[in-house]
A = this chain, B = another copy of it.
């Protein structure tokens, strides 16, 4: 399965030295970076590039290119040295490493066209690689291979083992993991040091084909990668024993040399045999089927009648199934709760595009990121509460810039008896703080359906929050809900306050408005279904016209709707009086209605807050 023998073993060793020299030079120019972590894996990278990687660096978008994921992203100098050896960048650019505006960041990001996903938070490369390999096998039906190079320290991350399990279960023989066991972590020896067996035994137990090699023996590396490519029915792990800082006596296999340039780069380059300029053309891309043109159709969304009682999670699942029929690019990932999130509606109609990740939320999001990086349009779904498990993966997905839909069900205290462990109460705060994110929180079935469909074409991270219990249909089937908009559901020229709500609290707020109306107090009710971006214009108009705003959310007081509304007035203009109602403290078990009342976000509580505010407004102008 070796694709080229153009380089003999000696030439491969020379290439390894070239990569080392370049890593040393790049870090030296930057005055920071990780040359020693690059040097341990240089021979692996050399053999991979020269003999096994199918990649056209001039056409990174080619569907038959292999994928290379540098999970140990701090070893970016090695990756950039490889790019130079492949002719993708020149020496001058390589030496811009870590400087402002350079594409060659401290840790790789997709600013470089050959980088699919950002790395640097350890333990994410394999989960994402599994997503790519799943895409290759089950979606693209293309023979590209996914090569993941990871460090030994990151094998302590649970996310790696979620991915190891997932890859074996899905028989991903198009996936190869290379573990660079260089024995030394950041602050000293790793847990298992040089014990290759420790890693191999674990990987084998999970069902992987596993090889142990000397990671500096180019012939052994070559044979192992060939073996990996030839192995069918299961993924292969190559556990490679290496030395950190290999090739330079002043740092090789020594503690205290992590994450810093070499003490004397010039001397190190000389010791490594000097600068080399070998140029390697990787093997050509695999023949891959041309992707079917994916002209997105218009989904035939389910229609609901006013007065129907439908949970937004149910509307979510039904809309997703309809979207899947209209758009072949949409794929859905589940963390073994598809009957709760209602993602199962999609599974029933489109089982070929449904991925069961079991209860492994990091892997759920990691796999979705990998599929998004391969051009698919993933919706990953679990309870809102359990998406917190994947916070770091979401954070890194935003750095990668991939489009990714995440749906969290069972939002808020309104879920009732299950109690706080199952309640999504921090999710809005988490997703609002993601750069470039969109945060949508529908209150009824037609709105949910429209937002599910609209999300498909949005860039970046899109979060959809759904409710467990049934809620009445408020909107007609043809109502539109632009992202960044809101709906004024109740208003008059006599409004003395504005209640801003989203999701389940829209219904409570409408009820509060009816209660207050009977008392002669008119209030405006705004359905802020787009929590980010929030509808600044409507909120500012409401502020001008009614003087004060009350936000009501089934979420913690911090970071959610209340903060989003406050942010609408953070441009220096006059700010209305603001009051926020939201969840404080830790709820217990109770019915949904009892929970809303105890949290002070039910209709009675909203009405009480308005009364107080309106009374205060009379005394203090």
Chain A residues within CB distance 8 Å of chain B: 30, 32-33, 73, 98-102, 104-107, 109, 111, 118-123, 153-154, 156-162, 165, 169, 185-187, 190-191, 201-202, 204-206, 334, 336-340, 344, 358-363, 385-386, 388-389, 391-392, 395-396, 398-399, 401, 417-422, 425-426, 429-430, 432-436, 532, 548, 556-560, 562-564, 566-567, 569-580, 583-586, 588-591, 594, 598, 612-613, 616, 620
Contact = CB atoms under 8 A, between A and B. Distances in A.
Contacts of A102: 588-589
Given A107-B419, A336-B185, A340-B186, A158 B32 contact: no
Contact of A579 (B417, B571, B598): B571
Contacts of A191: 165, 169, 358
Contact of A419 (B120, B123, B420, B436): B120
Nearest to A415: B106
B190 A358 contact: yes
B585 A435 contact: yes
B99 A358 contact: no
A572 B613 contact: yes
Contact of A98 (B417, B433, B434, B579): B417
Given A98-B417, A389-B391, A559-B559, A585 B156 contact: no
B567 A557 contact: yes
A389 B122 CA distance: 10
Given A202-B206, A586-B399, A558 B338 contact: no
A546 to B, nearest CB: 13
A339 B336 CA distance: 39
B399 A420 contact: yes
Contacts of A123: 359
A395 B426 CA distance: 8
A161 B155 CA distance: 10
Nearest to A560: B433
A90 to B, nearest CB: 19
Contacts of A435: 556, 583-586
A386 to B, nearest CB: 7
B106 A417 contact: yes
Contacts of A571: 579
Contacts of A360: 156-158
B559 A433 contact: yes
B156 A187 contact: no
A384 to B, nearest CB: 11
B417 A30 contact: yes
Contacts of A111: 588
A544 to B, nearest CB: 14
Given A421-B119, A422-B106, A392 B399 contact: no
Copies of this chain assembled into the complex: 2
A588 B101 contact: yes
Contact of A572 (B358, B391, B575, B612): B612
A161 B420 CA distance: 25
A167 to B, nearest CB: 12
A571 to B, nearest CB: 7
Given A106-B417, A153-B359, A589-B105, A575 B573 contact: no
Contacts of A564: 558
Nearest to A579: B572
A558 B433 contact: yes
Nearest to A160: B158
Contacts of A338: 187
Given A202-B206, A566-B566, A589-B105, A337 B158 contact: no
Contacts of A339: 186-187
Contact of A391 (B32, B99, B388): B388
Given A359-B123, A429-B429, A585-B435, A418 B107 contact: yes
A591 B106 CA distance: 11
Given A106-B418, A153-B358, A563-B558, A570 B575 contact: no
Given A191-B169, A386-B392, A574-B577, A421 B202 contact: no
A158 B162 contact: yes
Nearest to A256: B339
Contacts of A161: 158, 161-162
Nearest to A258: B339
Given A100-B588, A421-B120, A336 B576 contact: no
A583 B426 CA distance: 21
Closest 4 CB pairs of A and B: A158-B158, A120-B421, A205-B205, A100-B590
Contacts of A122: 359
Contacts of A363: 158
A104 to B, nearest CB: 8
A358 B158 contact: no
Nearest to A616: B572
Contacts of A340: 186-187
A169 B360 CA distance: 23
A100 B595 CA distance: 9
Contacts of A567: 557-558, 562-563, 566, 580
Contacts of A392: 361, 385-386, 388-389, 391
A559 B186 CA distance: 31
A261 B145 CA distance: 48
Nearest to A430: B430
A399 B385 CA distance: 13
A361 B334 CA distance: 24
Nearest to A159: B158
A396 B558 CA distance: 17
A344 B186 CA distance: 12
20 contacts: A73-B421, A99-B590, A100-B591, A105-B419, A106-B418, A107-B420, A123-B359, A156-B165, A185-B358, A391-B430, A396-B421, A399-B420, A429-B559, A430-B430, A548-B572, A558-B564, A562-B570, A566-B570, A569-B575, A572-B578
